[in-house]
Amino acid sequence: MFLSVLAVTAIVASSSPPPASFEPAQPALAANAVILDCQVAGAGLTDCRVVDGGVERRDAALKLAAKIQLPAALAEASPGRIRVKLDVNP
In a domain, 54, yes or no: yes
In a domain, 8, yes or no: no
pLDDT for 48: 92
Q: Which of 65, 63, 56, 71 lies closest to 84 in space, CA to CA?
A: 65
In a domain, 14, yes or no: no
pLDDT digits (tens, 9 = 90+) for 3-59: 444 444 455 445 545 555 555 555 555 667 889 999 898 888 889 999 988 778 888
Higher-confidence residue of 74 and 66: namely 66
88 burial type by CB count under 10 A (0-12 exposed, 13-18 middle, 19+ buried): buried
In a domain, 77, yes or no: yes
Over residues 58-78, mean pLDDT? 87
Q: How far apart are CA 86 and CA 84, in angstroms?
A: 6
In a domain, 3, yes or no: no
- Residue 38 belongs to what domain range? 30-90
Number of domains in the chain: 1
